[in-house]
Amino acid sequence: MSTTSLKLPDELKKRAADAAQQLGISPHAFMVSAIDQAATATERRAKLLADAKAARDEMLETGKGFAADDVHAYLKAKASGKKAAKPKARSWHA
């Protein structure tokens, strides 16, 4: 494990120490967790954007996509615990 020096404004350092105390962990553990959470969020966002671009590229290549109303109805039913048929891709080219 490597060591990193981190300079924080006094107010931020106090907030981190106070938050760590509330959680019953050390300020160091709090900061490691915060950095881990930020890195994970950044990685997830990058994957979401890459997946969205791949889906768009596939849609443009195949000329097929999903109607928003169909997708919304499907997601609403699934979120309610109901069985629902997956929407069918349809051609959007004229």
Per-domain boundaries in the chain: 9-62, 63-94
Which residues fall within 8 angstroms of residue 73, CB to CB, at 6 or more apart? 84, 87
User: 0.85 exceeded by the pTM?
Assistant: no
Separation of alpha carbons 4 and 6, rounded Å: 6
- The encoded tokens of residue 62 equal 């195949």
pLDDT tens for the chain, residues 1 to 94: 899 999 999 999 999 999 999 999 999 999 999 999 999 999 999 999 999 999 999 999 999 999 999 999 999 999 999 999 999 999 987 5
The DSSP 8-state label assigned to residue 67 in this structure reads -
